[in-house]
A and B are shown apart, each in its own frame.
Chain A
Amino acid sequence: MAKEDVEKTLAELSRDLGESKARLEEAQRVAHVGHWEWDLATDVIVWSDETYRIFGLSPQERPMDLATVRSMVHPDDREPLYQAVDQDLVAGQRPSGEFRIVRPSGEVRTVSSLTSERWSSLPGDTKRDASGRPYRLFGTIQDITDRKCTEEALQEISRNLLESKTRLEEAQRVAHVGHYYWNLVTNRVTWSDELYRIYGLSPQEGPTDMAIIREMIHPEDRELVFRAAEEALRSEVRPDAEHRVLRPNGEVRTVHGLGTVKRDASGRPYEMFGTVQDITDRKRAEEALQRTQLDLREVTRELQRQQAYLTEAQSLTHTGSWACNLLTRQIFHSSDENARLYGFDPSQGAIPFDRFYNAILAEDEVALRAKLENAIREGADYDVEFRIRRTDGAIRFLRGIGHHNPSQEIGEYVGITMDITERKCADEEREKLRQLEADLAHINRVNMMGELAAALAHEIKQPIAAAVANAGACLGFLEGERPDILEAREAATGTIGCARRAAEIIDHVRSLFKKSFPKRESVDVNELIREVALLLHNDIRRNSVTVHLELAENLPEVAGDRVQLEQVLMNLMLNAIEAMRDARGDLRITSQPNDDGHLLISVSDTGLGVPADKVDQIFDTFFTTKPQGTGMGLAISRSIVESHGGRLWATSDSGRGATFRFTLPHDGSMGT
């Protein structure tokens, strides 16, 4: 070969080599793969440019040796790496491995190194190791940090996914929420495990047939569910339906389904995704709650109704209710009416104890306080009446009833307060009226006696006056120089006639009482005695007389004139009361049956009594010891008693009062 040819070939070869080297460099650069040579004898290391780059250095920045490279390996990986290399070399194997390096910037990269050749001698090299041991290694190094990261990320994602799926299933299980995919193209449905459980099936893989699902929806709800689904497919409305599911074992569950429809770019739906939640328990709880709330509302309404009735009742009866501690003056409860009783406006809020208490009239407060303190001390109930001055100035009578529960604190009372003003007034009015009636009856009696006496006096005075005049005339005729005897005689005769007439009138009056008893009725003497005692209530009280009624029970009735017998009793009792005027005496009235078919009634006083020599006279007409007496009372009384077939008499215990007794034949003995 010619020299030129050789040179030309050499130049071509050199050019080709340079091109190959450039291509290799480029390939290494793109693949992040560098190569290296390690002279095991000298530990000199030669790197390609890319290797420098992998290590974070500029290409061929400085010559490399093993110590430098060693120092650049991650400390954690250093010893294991070189131990493994040593072992591989001893075993005649090509070392390889993944390890981390630390760039000068501190950045950690993961690299993979492969030893491609072990040379005991380079091809064409004359220097050979006689032992045949390799003295030089050649290999590649690749930066796999990014791949490593991706791998790790992938692994992480995969792990997370798995975890998420487990958690989702767990969550679905706990929440009784299942989900499904409905592939609208294939009409296949994929269910989550929980959804199977909700439908009472065991979780199974694979899509479920729509027809089966349809069967499992409660017949009454079927149309509703599918209409909701159709609606969702047709419009943008999300399917949302509550319906019942028939489990294979016949159990009915209520579920709530929510869905979303996925559409392709053209808006055509291709999948429906949805969740189904078993809300049976929640529903039951809700219903129970609703029922409870309903019950509660009902109870509340009932309470309100009761409250309204109570308020109305309190208002009607002017009764307020309260609870308080009288010692600490705390009020725990005070009804509206309770406030109104005092004239307070209940809408103004709680009224302090003292405002109630200060309304009490001072003259009533002392006695009231004493009663309350006593009750508190003894832990007893109380019932008090007191007056208050209402805020409008009106004086009202209140009655307070307090009850102490021994289990409560000392001084704690619950009770009611009533406005009893009207009742009080009515009572007073009634009492006044009763008094008036009694007074009137009394006056009537007294007047009757008075009038009778006056009429009698007039009747008797007439003939007496005539007699006196006649007698006077008689005297007149006899006087003078020529007495007229004839006229005098006539006048004297007239006098006698008039006197007779007076006597006749008296007889007539007496006979009136004796004969005029056409009225005979059954009279209960005890009742009569009580009546008269009531009628004389005023006289009895005025004279501080104490009345003792000792009336035998089951007395037979007497036949007689009730009014006249009443008159007798009244007369005797009035006499007795007058005999004890201002002496605080005892008036004792007894009734008892006698052996001889009579009732014996006695009226006793503790007054001065009747002088022994007058006991017989007191029944005489016009006999009286009283300045205002007519002297008719006892006479008439005796007439009345005798006309009834009885007797009236008196006994006197010498200065220790008098007893008047009378008998009346009773019905059994009259035989009429």
Chain B
Amino acid sequence: MSTSSSPIVFVVDDDEDMRVSMQRVLKTVGLRAELFATPQDFLQRNIPDAPSCLVLDVRLPGMGGLEVQHKLIEAGINIPIIFITAHGDIPMTVKAMKSGAVEFLTKPFRHQELLDAIQQALQRDQLSRRHRNEIAELQQRYKGLTARERKVMDLVVSGMQTKQIASVLGTSEITAAVHRGHVMHKMQAGSPAELGSMAERLKLSANR
């Protein structure tokens, strides 16, 4: 797994002093920071496959922080965001948090507040990354199933016994058992219950 690669914190703030000071704060705990003066610069950067989070100033020239958040969600980029602002108000905070912001810090903030928020964000990113990888793996396995095996998987998940499956498919019980065996093997499921859980996660991801 490549999740072991070191985490990156992206900082977008138009104030250079702010960027540099935050970089220093991150450096105290050995975190790597990438600094951007404008949101456009950041959006052009390909997000590497590493735990990461974004520290985003709400008031930015050209494009507001909330707009950047919106654009990232639209692009399917799932990165935790910590908003910082010199002049936060409650409606703005609520909106940002609803859209999945990790934290909303008001300037001037204590350096520990920033670090705590970043730690939380990175953990959340790691978790979601793992989750996303598992789903991808399951999807990979599911893709390996034949049409008939997928059908058999649905029937197994719905709680049918081999005999019932055979009757639904109109085949012999032995044939049904062979299909069932293939499904369990290909999906690397140890039990019908595990297969059910896998199906549930696949369905969720498919709905997403």
Contacts and interface: CB of A to CB of B under 8 A. Distances in A.
Given A454-B87, A464-B108, A469 B22 contact: yes
B87 A469 contact: no
A457 B59 CA distance: 13
B73 interface: no
B21 interface: yes
Given A468-B108, A470-B21, A473-B111, A462 B86 contact: yes
A274 interface: no
B87 A494 contact: no
B199 interface: no
Contacts of B67: none
Contacts of B2: none
Contacts of A454: 87
A477 B22 CA distance: 13
Given A457-B86, A462-B15, A487 B27 contact: yes
Which bracket fits the contact residues of A?
20 to 34
A473 B21 contact: yes
A462 B111 contact: no
Interface of A: 454, 457-458, 461-477, 479, 487, 490-491, 494, 497-498, 501
A491 B26 CA distance: 12
B158 interface: no
A526 B20 CA distance: 54
Contacts, number: 85
Interface in B44-77: 59
Interface string B15-27: 1011011101101
A477 to B, nearest CB: 6
A494 B17 contact: yes
A469 B29 contact: no
12 contacts: A457-B87, A458-B59, A458-B86, A465-B21, A466-B15, A469-B25, A473-B25, A473-B28, A476-B28, A487-B24, A487-B27, A494-B24
Contact of B18 (A466, A472, A475, A477): A466
A476 B114 CA distance: 12
A472 B23 CA distance: 11
B203 interface: no
A639 B86 CA distance: 27
Interface residues of B, number: 22
A510 B22 CA distance: 29
A454 to B, nearest CB: 6
Interface string B80-93: 00001011000000
Interface string B94-118: 0000000000000111111010000
A464 B21 CA distance: 11
B20 A494 contact: yes
A494 B20 CA distance: 9
Nearest to A459: B86
A474 B25 CA distance: 8
Contacts of A472: 25, 110-112, 114
A135 to B, nearest CB: 177
Contact of B108 (A467, A474, A479, A494): A467
B86 A476 contact: no
B21 A494 contact: yes
Contacts of B17: 462-463, 466-467, 494, 497-498, 501
Interface in B1-39: 15, 17-18, 20-22, 24-25, 27-29
Contacts of A470: 21, 24
- Which 9 A-B residue pairs are closest in the complex by CB-CB distance? A472-B111, A476-B28, A465-B107, A473-B24, A469-B21, A466-B17, A465-B108, A468-B108, A461-B86
A166 B76 CA distance: 142
A490 B20 CA distance: 11
A463 B114 CA distance: 16
B25 A461 contact: no
B111 A464 contact: no
A477 B18 CA distance: 18
A622 to B, nearest CB: 16
A568 to B, nearest CB: 27
B111 A477 contact: no
A462 B59 CA distance: 11
Give the residue among B18, B22, B24, B86 with the most A Cβ atoms within 10 A: B24
Give the residue among A454, A466, A469, A501 with the most B Cβ atoms within 10 A: A469
Nearest to B28: A476
A461 B15 CA distance: 11
